[in-house]
Amino acid sequence: MLMNRDFGEMTDSSVPRPVQAEMISGACSTGSCPTVYRTAHGSLVVQGGVVPGGVAGVELPEGETFVEIPLELLLDAAHRMS
């Protein structure tokens, strides 16, 4: 069972929960490239290329994944949110 301070108890990490997302910053205007979204829960969701944990040298827990996005995109998103 996972615990998350923003969302409370989640019984199964493989079951997606509804998330309303607002685009904050994107590398393109089509939405088919790295993008940072703000959720109604006050968190961020990122879209990017999946990086397998083994490639990154980290063992990931079930239900989690690494996503690679350009640093500039994350910095732009942080700037737009401040």
Instruction: With a cut of 50, say whether residue 58 has pLDDT above it.
Output: yes
Among the residues of the chain, which ranges form H helices? 53-56, 71-81
Residue 48 domain-assigned? yes
Residue 64 domain-assigned? yes
For tokens 């994107």, the residue is 26
Residue 4 domain-assigned? no
Q: What is the pLDDT of residues 5-52, one digit of tens each?
A: 444 444 455 556 677 889 999 998 776 899 999 998 888 999 999 998
Residue 11 domain-assigned? no
Please state, in angstroms and rounded to a whole number, the distance separating the CA atoms of residues 36 and 26.
6
The mean per-residue pLDDT over the stretch 65-72 comes to 93
Instruction: With a cut of 90, say whether residue 57 has pLDDT above it.
Output: no
- Position 72 scores a pLDDT of 95
Residue pair 39/24 in contact (Cβ under 8 Å)? The answer is: no
CB atoms within 10 A of CB 74: 17
- Position 78 scores a pLDDT of 94
Q: Where in the sequence is the domain holding 29, given as residue range(s)? A: 18-81
Side chain identity, residue 4? N
- Position 59 scores a pLDDT of 87
Provide the domain count of the chain.
Answer: 1
